[in-house]
Chain A
């Protein structure tokens, strides 16, 4: 099992550019999440989805968009990148609450 796969692992963006962070899971999990982690800090929830076609905002959604057209995929879109979006982004998935989450290995994004 691959688990949760995130691509790319590293990316440098210029201010104002856009990109999509990809996330795929092969565990047939209904719930998927996007978190960001700034240096020395805990994770903050950006968006989450409880199933295909259903998404909702987390704590820090500004500057991001998501879609969930299939159970497996949950891409995160950054429009007009800003230096404040420099962070490590983690995608996660789970079957149901209160089950444990499975996290991907992260995407390290730098906006310059």
Chain B
């Protein structure tokens, strides 16, 4: 599986934007970039995914570098509810049975200060 690298932790203030980086220098052309988050004592929650173009949804935006070797999850206005572990995950849909697997690393622990 192609690997991702994320900072262990980040801190933000409430109502400010947050940019969560992810490096994936060995990404293949068929890897999708997925982001999930996990609030304390809860199951992971899907945030967003993309392949090449930047993506927006009601939760966040995903900015993908032109060479696809890195991406950034953008929370436009952090709230206390956004405090969670954020996981950046690559999924290769051409890898047979293993494409059903989400390989979770340790993610980035985001702390939001009031």
Chain B residues packing against A (C-beta within 8 Å): 32, 34, 36, 42-46, 49, 51, 87, 91, 93, 97, 99-107
State whether A98 touches B34 (Cβ < 8 A): yes
A100 touches B34 (CB 8 A): yes
Inter-chain CA distance A55–B36, complex, in Å, is 24
User: Is A43's CB under 8 angstroms from B100's CB?
Assistant: no
Q: Are A90 and B44 within 8 A (Cβ)?
A: yes
Question: How extensive is the interface on chain A, given as a class?
Answer: 20 to 34
Asked if A101 is at the interface (CB within 8 A of a chain B CB), the reply is: yes
Stretch at the interface among A13-21, A62-70, A77-85, A102-110: A102-110
B43 pairs with A90, CB closer than 8 A: yes
Which residues from chain A contact B45 at a C-beta distance below 8 Å? Answer: 103
- Beyond A42-B107, A100-B34, A100-B49, whether A106 also contacts B101 by CB under 8 A is no
Report the Cα distance A42→B44, complex, angstroms: 10
Q: Is A74 an interface residue (CB 8 A)?
A: no
The distance in angstroms between the C-alpha atoms of A40 and B43, with both chains bound, is: 14
Are A42 and B106 within 8 A (Cβ)? yes
Q: Shortest Cβ distance from A43 into chain B, in angstroms?
A: 4
- 5 A-B pairs with the lowest CB-CB distances in the bound complex, closest first: A100-B46, A42-B104, A103-B43, A43-B104, A98-B32
B46 touches A101 (CB 8 A): yes
Collect the chain B residues with CB atoms within 8 Å of residue A35's CB: 102
> Which residues of B have CB within 8 Å of A98?
32, 34, 49, 51, 91, 93
> Does A52 have its Cβ within 8 Å of any Cβ on chain B?
no
B101 touches A103 (CB 8 A): no
A111 adjacent to chain B (CB < 8 Å): no
Residues of B within 8 A of A59 (CB): 101
**A50-B100, A101-B36 given. 11 additional CB < 8 A pairs?**
A4-B43, A31-B100, A42-B103, A42-B105, A42-B106, A48-B101, A90-B44, A92-B43, A98-B34, A103-B45, A104-B43
